[in-house]
Structure formats: structure tokens, C-alpha cells
Amino acid sequence: MSYQCDPNNVLLESDLAIDHEIASGGEGIAYRLKSGKVYKKYKANRLNNQLIEKLTYLVSKKLNYTGISFPEKIVFSEDVPVGYVMPYASGKPMQTTIFIPSLLLKHFPDWNRINLANLCIDILDKIKYLHDNSILLGDINAQNILVHSDNKAYFVDTDSYQIGNHPCPVGQVLFVAPEIQGKNFNSFLRTKDHEAFAIGVLLFMVMHPGKHPFSYQGGGSPADNIKNGVFSYPFGEDVNYKSPQGPWEYIWHELPYYIKELFYNTFTNLKRASISDYHYAFMQYKEDLLSSKYNSDIMIMSTKISERKVSTSINRGGTAKSIGLGTTILNHKYGKKAVLELGTRSVKLLVNQVESGVFSFDNFIREGTVTNTGDGLDENNFMDETYFMDKVLPVIESMLRKAKQYNVGTIYSVATAAYRTAKNQKEVISWLKSHLGINVQVLSKVDEAQATLEAYLFSKDYNVNEHNNTLLIDQGGGSTEISLFRGSNMIKTFSSNIGTNTLKNIIIANFNASSSIAHVLAQCDSFARQKISYYAREKAFRDGVIDACIGVGTPITYATGKKGNKKQHGFEFTRRSLEDQIMYFETELTSQFSSIGHLFEYIEENMKLRGFATESMLVTRLGLPVYLAIMNVHNISTLTVSGTGLWYGIYAQHLKK
């Protein structure tokens, strides 16, 4: 058999001046030539026609890129091809330089994350060159990329690349996309999407030196883990508490949002990130590391903010209709009426002192205690009985005692997100009945929004223009409810899973105790913006101009700087003044606390005293960007604070004469 080869691309083995043997393996032997180049000689049966064709094609393309060892000349012995000559590649395989932390430290003792970012960028540049020339690596792995320095990686084994119709016949399980796991790689051509998975794995394993993205607690073999698709590292509210033990999750927690997002989307199969996505992100990361925005240590050790596995989806589930009836007669002899609001964050009591046709804050007595009831939900959204009995029930009991002292005859009790979400909701309601003798209505999201608007209308006592569009933003502990009203008729309601307690729990699940407060807040804002972007896509909210925007909830009332519902009521924020407040609270927190763990610890230990104010500052700082993002969606210039929350609406609906 003869081979069609450009004579200029051919060398005779007898003309080669071999200096020494570099390595030998299953495929053949590599020799260093006196010229400095490398000669790869295949074992007798390894060089089949398919491979010869591929090599001939590769050589004819005259590809030249520093750091990619393309075949330059085909070597013949007599008239039979036996191997090829390629440029020399220096360095050691990634497997033994980067993917074993103690060897990484040994080979590159001065490296930090800037070097890792450089290495990623260098590798991405080379892959881009290949893709631009319609070549896929196919078998991306840690053996065929050598690392000389952070800006000099060498790609070897280029004879396995997928080029034209020549498939890449091999693949390492760790880098193989789930949909082609276990397939015969010689039988099909890989796609860029397959390659994108492999690139994602490689970059993840550089960022978390040697740790595969699909290793997780309770996992099986790497192939099974990839096929099962369990990505265990937390991203916002997506938390499964299965990430591997050791430094890996601590490292993940310190990565910027824009890198986590690419990995998350790639490994949860939402969208595999492209080379340019990664390139852009790692350039940004490098810049941010240089300006000390992120921790540049390669191996990061920390502790957790809390050992508890908290719920990051307090607003899940619930029925379309409210459940149960809320009326309880405390004392037949008395005529006074009260509302008991069992929220995700607090327990509140509203007692009507004076019945009057005209609304006045002075007609009511208000009591409230922060219980963080939502914190009693475990990661599966079961309300923990011990937590509820210790932290919540005694507060409700004391509220009922107060109601009796105020001579309340009838009390109407409602419960919101934490109760709506609790998988053992019936049981929780039965605890309230059996221990305290009260009936509690668990509000549906729609009824909650309706009552909240009613509260505003009740207090404002204004004439509703039938055609006016009012947007109501209510951030509670478990969620942010956004409702659009035309006149007093609800047109549409949207529930976003970001409440003040949810945001705090997202922090617990997504960061290290040692994480900087600025890093945590910036990332929480990104999570919140991401959530609001789903809202922005809702068409029903985009019809017509918003005539009025009303804000309810702890963050917006606390941000007024005023004490008491009466003074908070009617306060107006512009987007600019909201931004100022966000900045103000951030500065307050970062100037007082060195890390997020420090802040949480302080709140935990001082909840009864100053810790409460600090906690309010934190939830306000976390919550305000949500209001701002919604204002931005509609280009709303002014938001009016309503001091009358849900409880007033419940009063107006059920108790007002």
C-alpha cells in the first residue's frame, strides 16, 4: 500500500538523529531528537489507516500554535509510515502538577489563584485556536495537558484529536458528558457541547485542585455520578448539603458569582458554558483577584456559618386556597378584637382599642417579637418540633396573655409562608390548637396579597381610581410577593422565593464563616437579581403604566429610619434614596464586622439586645435590592411605604364592623 503524502511533509526514519528516549507507553515510544523536536514512533500494530489519514491531514493543514504539539512531518521507514515529528513539549502532566494539592504546592510553591486563573486562560486560548480550526480535542484529560508554568501549558497527544470526519477514538470517564458515557468513541463524532462539558470539568478541577465536580457525599462511581447528574455545590437556593467533605466547598464558596454560575449551569445541564463565557469570566476573576476582591489562597479552610441544614425555599408549596378558619373566642364577655399574625420572621399582635369609622394608627395597639419561625424548617421543609416548642410557641403564648390583658374577646389568627410551606403543617396547626387553644388560618399567597392591599387601602382611606394600576411589593420572611391591582381588584400576583429569612439561610448555605461581608452581599444581590429577572419576564405585569408602588415588609419600613408604623406610613423612597440606604447599611455592617461568620455570631449571641438591631440592618441590606430591582423593571420613580402590613388587612376583612 502506498500513501499520498506531500514529500515536503515527510521524513525518513534513517535521517532522524535521535538523542534519547523520553517516554514509552502502550501506543509507542517518544524520542527527543538532536534538533530539539520529538519523534513519536508507534508500536507496530498501532498505526492503522484511519490514523495515518488523520495524521496526513493534520500535517497538511500546517497548524502552528505555541504549546500545541501538532504533527509536523510524518516519518517513514522504507515506504511505510511509522510515526511523526512534533515540537517539544515541556512540563509535567496536570494530573501530577495541579490535580494533587501536595504536588501542586511542591511544583509551584509560590502560586495563588491568580496563577490558576492564568492557567485556565492559557488553556482556553489553546482550545479556542483548535475550535477556530474546526478541531475538537475530544479526549480532554489531565494526562495530555502538560503544565510548564501558569502561562505555558502544552497540549500533547494531538493525534487523538477529532478533525474532519476523523473521530477521537478515546475518552476518560471523568471528562465525558453524561449523554455519551459508555459509548464507543470511535463510532461517532463528538459535538462542541460534549467538549463544553469536558472543558467545564477541567476548569472546575483546576479551581478545586483535583476534585471532580460530580463527587458527592453518598455518591457512587464517577461514571454513575456523572450520569445521575447530582451537582452538589450550593448555588443560591439550590442547596442539597451533599458536597464532599474537606476544603472543596470552602473553595467553592469563595468563587465569584460569575464563575459559579457558569459551572452551575454547565453541570446542572441548564446551559453548558462556552469558551468565550469562561474566557471572559476568568479574565474578570484575575482582575478581581489582583484588586483583592476575592480570596486568592488556593486551598481555603474555614468553618461553616452554622452547622444547621437550613431551608432555602421557605415559600414552596401551599394550596391555592387558605386553609382553616382563624377565629377564636378568648372571652365572651369582652368585645375587643385582635389579629394574631404568625409570620416567618415574627409573631405580631394587633389589638383594636377604639372602633371608629375613620382609620387611625392610634386606635390600635401593636406588639411584635422576632421568632425567626422559618429557621425551624429543616432542609426538607419539615418544622422542627423542638425548635417550634422552644422558640415560637412561648412567644405566641405570651402574645395571647397580652391579648387577654387588653380585654380582647375575639382574636383572628393567620399564618404565612413558614406555615404554608411546612410539610407537617397539619401537625403544627394541631400543636397550636392543643397547647394554646387557638384556631389558625394558613393563608394562601393570593389571600395574603389581597389582605395586604386591603390594609393599605384601609389605612389610606383613599378613593380607589378604578383604572389606576397599583403595584404592591411585600417582602416577608419567606418570600417577596408582588401584586398588581387595578383599582382594588387583583390582576395578577407573583411570588418570588426571596424573603428576609430565605436570604439569611442562603447565606448560611452558600458561604464560609470567614467570607467577607462585601463578597457575601454582592453575591446575594446577584441571586436576588436573578430571581427578579424571572419576574421581569412575566407579561401580565408589563401591561400599562404603574401609577403607584407600595412597599411593605421589614426591610422597607426599617429603611425609613422611623420608629413605629405610624411614622413609617407614607414615607417615600426614590430609587436613588434606596441605593443610598443600601450603601448605608452595607457600610454599617462592613465597618463593624470582619466576616460574615463574625456578624452571624454576634446576632446569635445578642439577639435580645443590640443583636436585634444588627439583624434588622442585615435583613434590610439584603432585602432592599429586591425592591430596587422591581422598581427598575418598571422604571418606577417613587415607592410609598405602607406601615400597615398584613395584620391590618386581616382586621379589615374579618373583624371590622
Partner 1 sequence: MYDDYIIDRQKDLVENPTARLPICLVLDISGSMSGDPINELNRGVQEFFDAVLSDEVAKYSAEVAIVTFESSAAVELDFESIEKQRSKVRTLTTGGLTAMGSAVNMSLDLLERRKKEYQDAGVDYYQPWLVLMTDGAPTDEISYSANRCADLVNNRKLTVFPVGIGASADLTCLARFSPRTTPAKLNGVNFSAFFAWLSQSVSHVSQSTPGNFVALPPTSGWTSI
d(CA 637, CA 461): 23
Least Cβ distance, residue 490 to partner 1 (angstroms)? 47
Tell me which of 9, 60, 95, 424 binds partner 1, using CB under 8 A. 95
CA distances for 407 relative to 353, 401, 433, angstroms = 10, 10, 21
- Asked whether 100 and 210 are in contact (CB, 8 A), the reply is yes
Closest to partner 1 by CB, 42 or 248 = 248
Least Cβ distance, residue 278 to partner 1 (angstroms)? 21
d(CA 220, CA 227): 10
600 phi/psi in degrees, rounded to 5: -65, -40
Handedness of CA 300, 305, 308, 309 (dihedral sign): negative
DSSP character for 498? -
DSSP character for 289? H
d(CA 489, CA 238): 35
Q: Does 231 bind partner 1 (CB under 8 A)?
A: no
Least Cβ distance, residue 25 to partner 1 (angstroms)? 10
Interacting stretch for partner 1, rule CB under 8 A, among 239-247, 253-261, 313-321, 449-457? Answer: 239-247
Least Cβ distance, residue 99 to partner 1 (angstroms)? 7
d(CA 244, CA 258): 22
Q: Does 187 bind partner 1 (CB under 8 A)?
A: no
Least Cβ distance, residue 216 to partner 1 (angstroms)? 5
Binding-residue pattern over the window 54 to 93 for partner 1, x denoting contact by CB under 8 A:
----------------------------------------
Binding-residue pattern over the window 301 to 330 for partner 1, x denoting contact by CB under 8 A:
------------------------------
Closest to partner 1 by CB, 209 or 623 = 209
Closest to partner 1 by CB, 12 or 170 = 170
Closest to partner 1 by CB, 27 or 384 = 27
Closest to partner 1 by CB, 114 or 173 = 173
Tell me which of 67, 71, 200, 247 binds partner 1, using CB under 8 A. 247
Interacting stretch for partner 1, rule CB under 8 A, among 213-221, 269-277, 516-524, 630-638? Answer: 213-221
E strand segments, 150-251: 152-155, 162-163
- Asked whether 233 and 212 are in contact (CB, 8 A), the reply is no
- Asked whether 351 and 368 are in contact (CB, 8 A), the reply is no
Least Cβ distance, residue 135 to partner 1 (angstroms)? 23
Tell me which of 219, 324, 394, 409 binds partner 1, using CB under 8 A. 219
d(CA 522, CA 528): 10
What angle, rounded to 10 degrees, do the helices at 192-207 and 113-132 form? 170
Lookup result for grid cell 464558596: 253
Geometric angle at alpha carbon 204, from 199 and 205, rounded to 5°: 100
Closest by CA position to 322, among listed 400, 419, 453, 411: 419
Q: Does 244 bind partner 1 (CB under 8 A)?
A: yes
Tell me which of 73, 190, 211, 286 binds partner 1, using CB under 8 A. 211
Closest to partner 1 by CB, 201 or 275 = 201
d(CA 441, CA 567): 30
Interacting stretch for partner 1, rule CB under 8 A, among 8-16, 33-41, 129-137, 218-226? Answer: 218-226
The grid cell for 608 is 435580645
Least Cβ distance, residue 28 to partner 1 (angstroms)? 16
The grid cell for 194 is 460534549
Residues paired with 410 in a beta bridge: 329, 337
Least Cβ distance, residue 298 to partner 1 (angstroms)? 12
Q: Does 240 bind partner 1 (CB under 8 A)?
A: no
Tell me which of 11, 86, 168, 174 binds partner 1, using CB under 8 A. 174
Residues paired with 481 in a beta bridge: 474, 495
Binding site for partner 1 (CB under 8 A): 95-96, 99-103, 143, 172-174, 208-212, 215-223, 225, 232, 242-248, 299
